[in-house]
A and B are shown apart, each in its own frame.
Chain A
Amino acid sequence: MPTATRQIAWVYDLNKCIGCQTCSVACKVLWTRDEDEKHEWWMSVNTQPGLGTPKNWENMGGGIDAKTGKPKPGHQPTRGEFGGGFDFNYHEVFYGGTGGKAHLEPQAPREDRWAMNWDEDQGAGEWPNSYYFYLPRMCNHCTNPGCVDACPTGALSKGEFGLVLRDEDVCMGDRFCMEVCPYKKIYFNYERHVAQQCIGCFPRIEAGVAPACVRQCPGRAVFVGYLDEEGSPVYNLVRKWKIALPLKGEAGTGPNVFYVPPLSPYKLKDDMSIDYETPRIPPEYLESLFGPLVHQALTTLKSEMDTVRNGGSSEMMKTLIAYKWQELLGPFTVDPAGIEQVGSAAGG
């Protein structure tokens, strides 16, 4: 594993993500437009709590055992568990002549239907205390990537910028990477017979352009940058203020995508008065995703927000609000309109 490379990292502020999926679509139109990639969502945003994509991924195993350092067996996600990539009955709806009788539907039996965000906005809890938040997910470009070690052909590597990159000419489609990945963010292309996943917009990064997911986010909810760049938003959020946390850190692969955990409204009591002691998103649920440091992170966030509410100033809040959009992009501020683009993502 190369150690001299700097590590790129992402930070998603879950207090700002509105689940608009612009990041997911930005990635898709750039990288997975081909017919054989229809079902692949290298960037995806799920509703938590929820089964997400692939369906029930949190219980599919994989990862690295913290005590032994050995990789843990994982489930091979099926095409059906990813779902999506449906054919639709456009012709019937638009030209079939049956008026309102034909509805646009996935051409798959109801019991087989699942897709990237199928359970979007369902969440959990009972009215008036239901709750959910959005969780953008992508390849975590882990520091200790189980996928790289599991691959028998050497198709995967931990490379430049700290990205996990792959060679489709070498990949035999063995898919041990998919089993060991605890995040289940590797997809299989059944036509090309290769495993595919987010490449961190590597060609853009090389040209100094921020990844599409970061640049396109209308909510200014995601930061990118080098983890070791002191004074940068990513460094401050992860290492200095420690309010950006890894997802499922106990999986042992050292993910480099971090999350500022979501605050939530207070619960309402039975008499509809506000329970100022209890947030609607159960802290234990957040701990199950982001680990025990999540409680301090939320306390710190609330404290900094209070400081600003009371007329004080907070570097942390200034960073998170991102008054200047460019601050989200780290050192990758080149405008993609100005660089030469080669090849086509659509149809070869």
Chain B
Amino acid sequence: MKVAKVSAPAAELADPAAAVWRGVPSESVSLAPVPLAAQPTEYIRQAWANKAYGRTSEAMVAAASDGQRLYLRLEWEDDEKPNGEFQDAVAGVFPADGDAPLATLGDANKPLAVWYWEPGRAGPLNLTARGPGVFHKDNSAALSANGALNERRWSVVISGPAAAAKAGKVGVAVWNGSNEERAGLAAVSRDWLKLELA
């Protein structure tokens, strides 16, 4: 997927509804649940042994850059159930180190960089992932995000330093709040999406 080179103002690029995004081609990525066996604690494996999660099957990804920042536009369909204690969330993920495994959101030796967004938090989180839910908050990268829910479709733009695109690939993870999904209980893209800087 090409990272569209765009010279629109940052405020426009940050808005998932902005007209500039209509000119940026998006690709569909197929998602699958993070395997139960990979969940990092016995409690999670026990509690979710008979509960389905990560059933969001698809997300749309578009990427643009103004030279300074990389803007990821992510879109996916929410279910009709209302959220209770947990919120919907999404993340764009990049390999921090070569061939980190995507299906488990990294592992102990091969981490992922995660740009994580959830409504209700003060802002997006820059995380290092060393496995499903094995997340560490990293304050170094300045991320921004905006999201909106329209007729059960979320559209979110998360932006960060353009250098993230140098990894050459990106993945997506989605959490369904109404199903109490969080940590490693996510739907993750089955394959990396190649990022080509235009």
Shortest beta-carbon distance from A191 to chain B in Å: 9
Q: Which of A146, A152, A180 has the most CB of B within 10 A?
A: A152
Q: Say whether, besides A78-B85, A152-B183, A170-B136, A176 and B44 are in contact (CB < 8 Å).
A: yes
Q: Which of these, B42, B46, B85, B133, contacts A76 with CB under 8 Å?
A: B85
Provide the residues of chain A in CB contact with B184, threshold 8 Å. Answer: 152
User: Which parts of A125-172 form the interface with B (CB within 8 Å)?
Assistant: 146, 149-153, 169-170, 172
Q: Say whether, besides A78-B84, A79-B85, A152-B183, A179 and B133 are in contact (CB < 8 Å).
A: no
Are the C-beta atoms of A176 and B136 separated by less than 8 Å? no
Provide the residues of chain A in CB contact with B44, threshold 8 Å. Answer: 150, 152, 176
Q: Say whether, besides A70-B42, A78-B84, A153 and B134 are in contact (CB < 8 Å).
A: yes
Q: Which of these, A70, A73, A172, contacts B183 with CB under 8 Å?
A: A172
Are the C-beta atoms of A73 and B46 separated by less than 8 Å? yes
Are the C-beta atoms of B41 and A76 separated by less than 8 Å? no
Q: How long is the Cα–Cα vector from A153 to B41 in the complex, in angstroms? A: 10
Q: How long is the Cα–Cα vector from A219 to B41 in the complex, in angstroms? A: 42
Are the C-beta atoms of B42 and A176 separated by less than 8 Å? no
Provide the residues of chain A in CB contact with B40, threshold 8 Å. Answer: 152
Are the C-beta atoms of B180 and A76 separated by less than 8 Å? yes
DSSP majority for the A interface?
loop
Contact of A267 with B by CB under 8 A: no
Q: Which of these, B43, B84, B135, B180, contacts A153 with CB under 8 Å?
A: B135
Are the C-beta atoms of A152 and B133 separated by less than 8 Å? yes
Are the C-beta atoms of A146 and B43 separated by less than 8 Å? yes
Contact of B47 with A by CB under 8 A: yes
Q: Which of these, A76, A149, A173, contacts B43 with CB under 8 Å?
A: A149
Q: Say whether, besides A172-B183, A174-B183, A193-B121, A73 and B47 are in contact (CB < 8 Å).
A: yes
Q: How long is the Cα–Cα vector from A169 to B182 in the complex, in angstroms? A: 17
Per-residue 0/1 for A45-84: is the Cβ within 8 Å of any B Cβ (1 yes, 0 no)? Answer: 0000000000000000000000000111110101100000
State how many residues of chain A have any CB contact under 8 Å with chain B.
Answer: 26
Contact of A185 with B by CB under 8 A: no
User: Which parts of B32-59 form the interface with A (CB within 8 Å)?
Assistant: 39-44, 46-47
Per-residue 0/1 for A177-191: is the Cβ within 8 Å of any B Cβ (1 yes, 0 no)? Answer: 001100000001010
Are the C-beta atoms of A170 and B137 separated by less than 8 Å? yes
Contact of A175 with B by CB under 8 A: yes
Q: Which of these, B41, B47, B137, contacts A169 with CB under 8 Å?
A: B137
Provide the residues of chain B in CB contact with A170, threshold 8 Å. Answer: 136-137
Q: Which of these, B43, B132, B133, B136, contacts A180 with CB under 8 Å?
A: B43
Q: Which of these, A70, A78, A169, A174, contacts B46 with CB under 8 Å?
A: A70
Shortest beta-carbon distance from A283 to chain B in Å: 34
Shortest beta-carbon distance from B89 to chain A in Å: 11
Shortest beta-carbon distance from A54 to chain B in Å: 12
Are the C-beta atoms of A152 and B134 separated by less than 8 Å? yes
Q: How long is the Cα–Cα vector from A71 to B49 in the complex, in angstroms? A: 12
Q: Say whether, besides A152-B41, A152-B183, A175 and B46 are in contact (CB < 8 Å).
A: no
Provide the residues of chain B in CB contact with A150, threshold 8 Å. Answer: 41-44
Shortest beta-carbon distance from B12 to chain A in Å: 29
A-B CB contact pairs (8 Å), 25 listed: A71-B42, A71-B43, A71-B47, A73-B46, A73-B47, A74-B47, A76-B85, A78-B84, A78-B85, A79-B85, A150-B42, A150-B43, A152-B39, A152-B134, A153-B133, A153-B135, A172-B137, A172-B183, A174-B133, A174-B183, A175-B85, A176-B44, A179-B43, A188-B85, A193-B120
* 8 A-B pairs with least C-beta separation: A150-B43, A152-B133, A73-B47, A71-B43, A174-B183, A152-B40, A152-B183, A180-B43
B interface residues with partner A (beta carbon < 8 Å): 39-44, 46-47, 84-85, 120-121, 131-137, 180, 182-184
